[in-house]
Amino acid sequence: MTATAIHASRILTPEEEISDGVIVVEGGRIAALGHRDEIRIPTGAVDHVATGLTVVPGFVDVHIHGAGGHDFMEATPRALDRITATVARHGTTSLVATTVSADIDETCRSLAGIAQYIRAHEKEANGAEGAAEGVPADRGLAAEILGVHLEGPFISRVRRGAHPSDALATPTLEAFHKLAAAADGLVKILTIAPEIPGALEVIAAAVEARIVVGIGHTDATYEETRAAIQAGARHAVHFYNAMRPFNHRDPGVVGAILTDPEVTAEVIADLIHVSGPAIQVLIGSKGFDTVLLASDGIAATGMPDGNYRLGNFEVNVKDGVARNAEGKLAGSTLTLDRALRNVVALGVPLVDALRMVTVLPARRLGVAGKKGILAVGADADLVALTPDLRVAGVMTRGAGLA
Ligand SMILES: [Zn+2]
């Protein structure tokens, strides 16, 4: 198997900074990395020189609905190929395919399509590793789908945002198990409003199934949120958006999340969904270790303004801002490279901002060591950044970065 040796002016793993570094990639994984004096490059390795660039891990998106004109709810191989290829060009190398509230049977059909796609890719990757000649099927540059994020239907009618009201459902174990089974055990995140009757029982079942429970689209009080955390919820979905707002005598869900160090909060850092100072308040309260940047990107991501679909409804995109027919924000056209630049522009140190799109989401999803980090044995998912944090090259599991 041919190895690739990537020579970079700087590597941010991001837990460590290496100047004049080399990363050796073999079979889709990182075989070695370190300062150029420490690394023995295998004979016959193809050199890739990234002079003047910083190589960082590929970004991990915990909340994304689509890109490149397609929505995950379409769930056809063509749609999923298109989405994963589009975001990869912006540095996202793995993601969790996010649904939007729809009829349960219809959602199940989408989940089955996504699960089938993931399983087919797993098989292919395993087959390639086992092959004698070891030539992995070159799928080109594409983000890996790690699983599914169920955003709805167990959300608050009052804080539904753009989710259609007729698609919302009461949380029941029966509905939850039906969705989880349709996804073939690949649900990674469940967004739920903890104040709805039945929610705590579903939260406990999801935690039992090792699903990350995200508090979101919720009108929960401080006490109701505490009860959800007690039941095992450990994540907050697009923090501030579609949540009961903070009040100093009624801190609500926002107050409960800001004050709990165990709970991670994803934020849409497009500076449209949330203002810069509000992001600073979030980071100021929670520190650098529990804030994740998520895109909430929809089909319009990487596409011109116009009309797109999000699940079952139409969204109009003007100046890159996506709204439904009622004029409510309906996802974003944000990519994680832009989110990273926005947060750095707010004064967050680069390494800390990078961790918010790499190590921290990988840890929350239980794939630390494999994704979101440059380390021996990790998947060769990496991004070369220019000094102004533009994406100059991307590699997904050893493919790309030509
Ligand atoms: Zn949402």
Strand 144-151 vs strand 212-215: parallel, antiparallel, or unpaired? unpaired
pLDDT, mean of each 10-residue run, the chain (402 residues): 94 98 97 97 94 97 98 98 98 98 96 97 74 52 98 96 94 98 98 98 98 98 98 98 98 98 98 98 97 98 96 94 95 97 98 98 98 98 98 96 72
Contact between 272 and 296 under an 8 Å Cβ cutoff? The reply is no
DSSP 8-state class, residue 328: -
296 is catalytic: yes
Q: Which residue has the tokens 């270790």?
A: 289
Q: 161 C-alpha to center of ligand 1: Å?
A: 7
351 CB burial (10 A radius; 0-12, 13-18, 19+): middle
Q: 322 C-alpha to center of ligand 1: Å?
A: 12
Q: Tell me the C-alpha distance between 87 and 142, whole Å.
A: 8
Q: Tell me the C-alpha distance between 399 and 93, whole Å.
A: 11
Q: 258 C-alpha to center of ligand 1: Å?
A: 19
Q: Tell me the C-alpha distance between 114 and 101, whole Å.
A: 16
Q: 321 C-alpha to center of ligand 1: Å?
A: 15
Q: What pLDDT was estimated at residue 128?
A: 56
Q: Which residue has the tokens 């319009």?
A: 300
Q: 238 C-alpha to center of ligand 1: Å?
A: 7
Q: 112 C-alpha to center of ligand 1: Å?
A: 21
Q: What pLDDT was estimated at residue 402?
A: 61
The one catalytic residue in 296, 337, 379, 381 is 296
Q: Is the pTM of this model over 0.85?
A: yes
Beta-carbon contacts of 121 under 8 Å, excluding residues fewer than 6 positions away, are: 139, 144, 145
Q: What pLDDT was estimated at residue 123?
A: 87
Q: What pLDDT was estimated at residue 134?
A: 41
Q: What pLDDT was estimated at residue 132?
A: 36
Q: 285 C-alpha to center of ligand 1: Å?
A: 23
Closest to 83 (Cα-Cα) out of 334, 400, 297, 331? 297
